[in-house]
Structure 1
């Protein structure tokens, strides 16, 4: 019995085993034979219009499904995608970047081949990728290829970060041993004894705490602990806050959820309350300037227990942090929650009254006049009434990201924003990856049906507009709400409000579906475009059954004033302007 298969078949079969359903990328002459193995492995080829957008989409797909695959050609293709892979590294998205490279003999000879720099150095691009990937493999040896593939894919999953695989064209068909069993994804250095000890230590701290708090950040989304985390929050009744990056991870209907902690943007009373905690359980931290509002939205380090995928740090003072490796956060949480049964906890000190709580603001928001222009403050609150359980919502860097902090989210929704990389244009391409992952998971029965809803600036849209073509090509269900406020508002808030460099060329945005080849009058893939210049028009648009359903491609353009922006954006923009001019940290 022949137990050997072509190397490319091995690679794509392993990806399918790990849950990849579709492969993003752009074909090139160094990848063509490689791509012949995609469909036989049971995978779908997405076929993006450019490599940067394919990388963005693969990043977002990975955030939903837990892993993704991206294929580009050597040199020009991989460098076009490196910005996206850098973002996936910074924000921990497990992307497998596969690069079709030149034949091994040509590399060894230092041949002057196309897509190279012409200097005979075929390692230069791989060396660049070492800085934005956690594992790399160059498949030049058929005997070693299966081991290297498994090693790299294992690191991608365990570290939740991108990896890099080179497949020379003459190795695509090389015979390798067929895969046996599954890739070992056990946590390296895992210690049940240590984990049980940490559970007991946490339980002791929880029982002793008089002023506890739970603080949820965005990297907790990578640990598959959403359900366990919400159960901990419910059982303890501890006051709970999130960062902007962590918003949507906590069920906002829980009475002890108190919104996003916004540091200098919020009230001094709230900051003082957070700083006075004697126990902070901090999940999945991202301590970036944007996520912490200029490093002002951080809890008391000495009272903080930081929990990450495989580590727990008790106390975070630079002098004596105690960091323990070898736990699994999911099993630790499960054990901790189970041990809470029958344990009497002190009644936690309540969170100060918050007049800026979006849930309260939405209830008291006055009805706007139908002919009044849509304002930023009311828009981000009122649009919450459009959301439904199961929706995945994306907010582009800038106005939308800050506005999204005011969303009131239904149970079982997801919010995707960027809180460190901030590559403008990411979210439009990301919506393609999200919708594709969502469709696959609904079909697999692993996710409830929901809509993909994107909030995109009209300037940001120009960065990655070809993604609309990718959405149409794959007949994906995406609702794009374009916030048109005449230029780069976030840049205006920081510097150069009236400067020409913050202007953008006005596009006829709603003609994009036609230009990119959307079907006309096809009931199986409806395309709807609407615009709103005032509140009356916006209410009419959002009540449209086609927009409500979210099937096919929907584009809604909402016009707002050039000098209007969310309050938090205005305040943070002012902070950045001072920091950039004075060189402060």
Structure 2
């Protein structure tokens, strides 16, 4: 290639510029030239995944910590397998770049004009493009080297601006063609607030904060997605009032904070948090998403809650459009407001290790025991399962120390997401992952990739033999009676710990707390591969904070 600068190099350079250090890929002949000739020769490490769904989940987990993630797949047969992961990233505002290797212009025209099909074709040149337009912030097709820089820059700028996935269809014959070099660095498009709407919102919220007897801040996931952690902490400090988070935003700020009251998740919240939310006379919700998982069984009082999201403020009958969340938070900080003082219960030191309990492991007993294993260097991940409830009340001291996909809630997410998190986390951090057995069966091949690349998440598979959360959602009373579980919720049980022999990692099966303690100690010493701990729990055992629906 000499001194020529190509489309393939342009894409690599722009991704590296945004901070991408790892690319999750699945081999495919339409994309393999770009990976082999450009990615492999760059500072980006290619992580070869076992399937496209796992690659998508891994890129999502990576992006939640790094601010950008990417996967490379092949046309249709590969890309369509990744749609569920990309849809989840779209819903949860996670900036993932999907690079889809596509057939050449010649192959495309031959198919369209003669009907002679190259492999993976469905119905023409825009099948994949049109599909991904619905679940990305931008979808572009690179079929001209002259337009490639503009289209790539547009897609990547949309990705970092909207914090949502984008789709780049890279034709196989474009990769080595010459194009212009990058000019200015890529930057997210600046927020543009309507001045009148912004000032009105700041004034209205300021008045309510100062006049409220028991004001409360509700920190939502958009504080994390748009990197407003420091500003949110500054506002909380200045106002000197308590704050709660939602499940999706759990631990985006350290839960050791003296003003942190807990996670609000409807009737699954702690009694103290439920009382705090109920008794407050004004709630400022910053970047909160209203979902059925975030307000379990609890009607949100819209009359006393001001919702400030990415670009709007809603409070009662007031609606102010084009108000940037960042501008609003900074504006409230600048007001130097004084709120009525409130006192929170004193933070207690984390529970010291206690004697190992006797008897069989229960869901609640497991989480009571696990709390002792979490310190300031622990990242916790929970799958869409009964683990939502158990993990919700864990105290996580690490800032950005909790990974969950609770809005989209695709079971099976957390195992392969742990691959990406393991590559994105700091070296001194350890990842603990809690998966249901049904979800883990969907994506268990994550152990293969984690073993291949010497990643060391500790994965707890809660083995109760059922799709527990699906049964809970449909009819939770079954857990407190003798009626049978729905047939559709009953699993074929695996011996999960034996998968370690298949994939070359380490595994344990535990039925007692003593065995659990031994397994955790062994897993902590295993630094070069994933550890899978199969935790056998009774089928009718559920976390205490899930009992409200089962009664």
Global fold match (TM > 0.5): yes
Q: Relative to 1, partners in 2 of residues 1:515 and 1:213: Cα closer, same or farther, differing over 3 Å?
A: same
Per the alignment, residue 535 of structure 1 pairs with 513
- Equivalent positions of 1:159-178 (< 5 A) are 159-178=162-181
2:376 is the alignment partner of 1:373: no
2:346 is the alignment partner of 1:345: no
Per the alignment, residue 443 of structure 2 pairs with 464
Q: Residues of 2 paired with 1:48 and 1:364: CA distance?
A: 40
Per the alignment, residue 568 of structure 1 pairs with 545
Per the alignment, residue 211 of structure 1 pairs with 214
Per the alignment, residue 254 of structure 2 pairs with 251
Q: Relative to 1, partners in 2 of residues 1:552 and 1:114: Cα closer, same or farther, differing over 3 Å?
A: same
Q: Relative to 1, partners in 2 of residues 1:100 and 1:515: Cα closer, same or farther, differing over 3 Å?
A: same
SS of residue in 2 equivalent to 1:23: strand
Match of 2:117 among 113, 120, 145: 113
Counterpart contact for 1:478–1:551, Cα < 8 Å: no
What TM-score do you get using the length of structure 1 for normalisation? 0.84
Q: Residues of 2 paired with 1:180 and 1:267: CA distance?
A: 53
Per the alignment, residue 28 of structure 1 pairs with 28
Q: Residues of 2 paired with 1:551 and 1:303: CA distance?
A: 51
- Equivalent positions of 1:369-448 (< 5 A) are 369-370=357-358, 372-412=359-399, 414-438=401-425, 442=427
Per the alignment, residue 583 of structure 1 pairs with none
Q: Residues of 2 paired with 1:396 and 1:304: CA distance?
A: 29
Offset at residue 363 of structure 1 (A): 5.6
Counterpart contact for 1:39–1:45, Cα < 8 Å: yes
Per the alignment, residue 237 of structure 1 pairs with 240
SS of residue in 2 equivalent to 1:568: helix
Offset at residue 263 of structure 1 (A): 2.4
Offset at residue 365 of structure 1 (A): 11
For residues 130-149 of structure 1, what are the alpha-carbon distances to aligned partners after superposition, in whole Å with 9 as ceiling and x for unaligned? 11111111111221110111
Offset at residue 267 of structure 1 (A): 8.4
Offset at residue 222 of structure 1 (A): 0.6
SS of residue in 1 equivalent to 2:442: coil
Match of 1:476 among 455, 467, 480: 455
Offset at residue 248 of structure 1 (A): 1.1
Q: Residues of 2 paired with 1:385 and 1:235: CA distance?
A: 32
Counterpart contact for 2:244–2:262, Cα < 8 Å: yes
Q: Residues of 2 paired with 1:271 and 1:51: CA distance?
A: 41
Offset at residue 127 of structure 1 (A): 1.0
Task: Figure out how many residues of one structure are paired with residues of the other and give that number.
Answer: 538
Q: Residues of 2 paired with 1:84 and 1:191: CA distance?
A: 35
Unaligned runs of 5+ residues in structure 2 are 479-483
For residues 226-277 of structure 1, what are the alpha-carbon distances to aligned partners after superposition, in whole Å with 9 as ceiling and x for unaligned? 2332332233221222222121124323333221223244689965753564
- Equivalent positions of 1:277-288 (< 5 A) are 277-288=280-291
Q: Which one is further off, 562-571 or 94-103?
A: 562-571
Unaligned runs of 5+ residues in structure 1 are 443-448, 519-526, 575-585
Offset at residue 167 of structure 1 (A): 0.8
What TM-score do you get using the length of structure 2 for normalisation? 0.89
Q: Residues of 1 paired with 2:131 and 2:548: CA distance?
A: 37
Offset at residue 392 of structure 1 (A): 1.6
Q: Relative to 1, partners in 2 of residues 1:19 and 1:286: Cα closer, same or farther, differing over 3 Å?
A: same
Per the alignment, residue 510 of structure 1 pairs with 497
